Structure 1
Amino acid sequence: MLIKRSTFASVAAAGVLLTGSGAAVAADGAPADGAAVTANAGPSKQAKYQRLHQLTRSTTTSVKDWRRTRELAQSGVDRWGFIWSTDWCTKLADKPGGFNFKLSCARHDFGYRNYKKMMGKEAFRHSKHERRVDKAFLFDMNNQCAVQPHKTDAERRQCRKTAKAYYDRVSN
């Protein structure tokens, strides 16, 4: 495949390349999620940090990508070596008022645990990442409120109010 050097550089800077076969690979040469990884071919620290950032944003794409990456890790395909354990929102009820926030809690735990491991606990507490992970938590809960089955507008408002109370508890 012929690629102009400037095009290749800009694609590589974006972090993903396509091989001639159409298989996606990271800019560091490692295969994309779902592909086999050989021993010692793990991602660089910078690539892992960028991936963590991608998986903890307040976007529906980030949520879907996190879920897919989590499912792959749970099935044994874990190219990134992230921490996936969760305690489902420490000391907070998982389903307050019947609203299920468990996956929101799991993604929040994912962000906290992995940033703390990569940066150190104190550096994380004083970084922009803690606030961003907390905002993603609120984003996730509000999205969950929007898709609750058979809920009235009043129940959805109550769900968002409960989500905001959860957010306030974790972001203090």
Structure 2
Amino acid sequence: MQREIGEGKQVNTMRTSFGGVVLAGVLALGTAAPALAEAPAKTAVTTGPSAVARQISAADVAGPAVGGAYRLAKLKSLTSKGQASRDAWFKYLGLYRSGSNYFRFNWSTNGCNSSPEKLPGGYDFTYSCHRHDFGYRNYKTIVGKAAWRRDHKKRIDDVFLQDMRQACQYKPWADPLTPAMRKKMKAACLKSADKYYAAVRVLG
């Protein structure tokens, strides 16, 4: 999420309203999203919660200057709903972390700002917030704030909600929680996802 989520009384109110379960404490993430591999060209990269593994071709790493229309098309493909878009985003994040930024995208993030990325039960919104920042920051730079807000903001926010809800499906193989407690933690995670989404719709 953008800096605005952490600013103002609305966000403070949102954070304090998460309630006992969500903000009671952050449990250690036992099986957190795997780290994105730092890999050179033509080596397999495993990225993100979906463990997307594929060969990186030379075309992913080097090539001619990217035209504006092509760059925008790629940006949209990385900020759309669906697993294919999410997997592609993790792929290019992996490339960026290995030293390649073919499309000259801004990959910076402030996480979920002042709201917690990690929630009780092992749920983790870190990548959801990173992808949301990615969409906001690149569209604002490339098309300007007015066009971003008019044409792209709602889609990026909806993808943010999708990613958080997917994160709330997390369940470890050897779950230390009872089924009843896991159900309670998952419901709290989904409630937090809705609150984060409501915040960016108003403040983003």
The runs of at least 4 aligned residues of structure 1 exceeding 3 Å deviation read none
CA deviation vs aligned residue, 1:84-118 (integer Å, no higher than 9, x gap):
00000223222244531010000000000000001
Q: Does 2:191 align with 1:167?
A: no
Identity, % of aligned pairs? Answer: 36
Contact 2:61-2:101 within 8 A present in 1 as well: no
More deviation, 75-84/88-97: 88-97
| Counterpart pick for 2:62 among 36, 48, 72 | 36
Which 5+ residue runs of structure 1 have no aligned equivalent? 1-30
CA deviation vs aligned residue, 1:25-80 (integer Å, no higher than 9, x gap):
xxxxxx8852422xxx2211011101010000121111111001011011112210
Q: Which residue matches 2:89?
A: 66
1:109–1:32: structure 2 CA closer, same or farther, 3 Å change rule? farther
Structure-2-length-normalised TM-score: 0.63
Structure-1-length-normalised TM-score: 0.74
Q: Which residue matches 1:158?
A: 188
Larger relative contact order (Cα-Cα within 8 Å, sequence gap ≥ 6): 2
Q: Which residue matches 2:70?
A: 47
- Following the alignment from structure 2 to structure 1, what is the Cα–Cα distance between the partners of residues 124 and 97? 21
Structure number, greater radius of gyration: 1
Q: Which residue matches 2:5?
A: none
SS of 2:124's equivalent?
Answer: coil
* Residue 144 (structure 1) shift: 0.5
- Following the alignment from structure 1 to structure 2, what is the Cα–Cα distance between the partners of residues 43 and 169? 34
SS of 1:124's equivalent?
Answer: helix
Letter of the 2:80 counterpart = R
CA deviation vs aligned residue, 1:113-146 (integer Å, no higher than 9, x gap):
0000011122212x23100000000000000011
Which 5+ residue runs of structure 2 have no aligned equivalent? 1-56
Q: Does 2:178 align with 1:146?
A: no
- Following the alignment from structure 1 to structure 2, what is the Cα–Cα distance between the partners of residues 121 and 60? 27
Q: Which residue matches 1:88?
A: 111
Q: Which residue matches 1:77?
A: 100
Superposition pairs of residues 91-102 of structure 1, within 5 angstroms: 91-97=114-120, 99-102=123-126
Superposition pairs of residues 6-45 of structure 1, within 5 angstroms: 34-37=60-63, 41-45=64-68
How many residue pairs get aligned? The number is 138
- Please, what is the CA RMSD of the aligned residues? 1.8
- Following the alignment from structure 1 to structure 2, what is the Cα–Cα distance between the partners of residues 56 and 32? 24
- Following the alignment from structure 2 to structure 1, what is the Cα–Cα distance between the partners of residues 67 and 161? 30
